[in-house]
Amino acid sequence: MMKSFKKLPSKYYNIMLKVYANHKLLSKGKELAKMLSDSGCKIGPLTWDTLVKLYAEAGEVEKADSILQRASEKGQLKPLYSTYIYLLEKYANRGDVHNTKKMFHNMRQIGYAGRLRQYQLLLQAYANGKIPAYGFMDRMKGENIFPNKATFTQLHVVDAFRKTELSELLIFFKPNTKII
């Protein structure tokens, strides 16, 4: 097609980028992205989505994040909601609470309202990072997000003040009592 047409529409590049992303062929994807930018095609939210997924699937999540940041700074068209969710999932699976919170905040700044899925991914980051989430339920209530059964389970896992069998037993003993 490149030999028969002078300028290809960006949708053909996006399809090829998706194929490279699905097969984790980062080097070929980079070459195709360079050809896309050299051809002067319009780069829109679908192209950003495929580029982010290409880098994230190859293990370069920080590079994918920087691509998304540059795309959102352009301000003409905002990136897709699914692109942000994809990166949220990647950071949450790694247990990277800092970057997950940053991505969560960026979604709010760009105009995507809080949804339950965003909070579930943030809770997953806390759970995978083994960090307690203080006041998380109050934050959700403040934004009129009501957890479902799965979210309640996640909240229980990251609750710093949850009661355990050992903590319940220790309540009944005096401070100076020896426990054998």
C-alpha 50/C-alpha 21 separation (Å) is 7
pLDDT of residue 36: 83
Give backbone dihedrals phi and psi of 63, rounded to 5 degrees, phi first.
-65, -40
Q: What is the pLDDT of residue 125?
A: 95
C-alpha to C-alpha distance for 64 and 144, rounded to whole angstroms:
31
Chain length of the chain = 180
C-beta of residue 50 within 8 angstroms of C-beta of residue 19: no
Q: Tokens representing 93? A: 């699976």
Query: What is the model's pLDDT at position 154?
Result: 85
The alpha carbons of the chain give a radius of gyration, in whole angstroms, of 22
Q: What is the mean pLDDT of each run of 10 residues along the chain (180 residues)?
A: 69 87 88 84 86 90 92 81 94 95 91 89 93 87 89 82 56 52
Q: Give the type of residue at 68.
A: L
> Which positions ≥6 away from 104 have C-beta within 8 Å?
88, 118, 121, 122
Contact in structure between 155 and 137 (CB atoms under 8 Å) = yes
Q: In terms of Cα–Cα distance, which of 88, 112, 110 is closest to 101?
A: 88
pTM score, whole prediction: 0.80
What DSSP designation does 84 have? Answer: H
Dist CA 57 CA 54 (whole Å)? 5
Q: Token match 């909070």: residue? A: 119
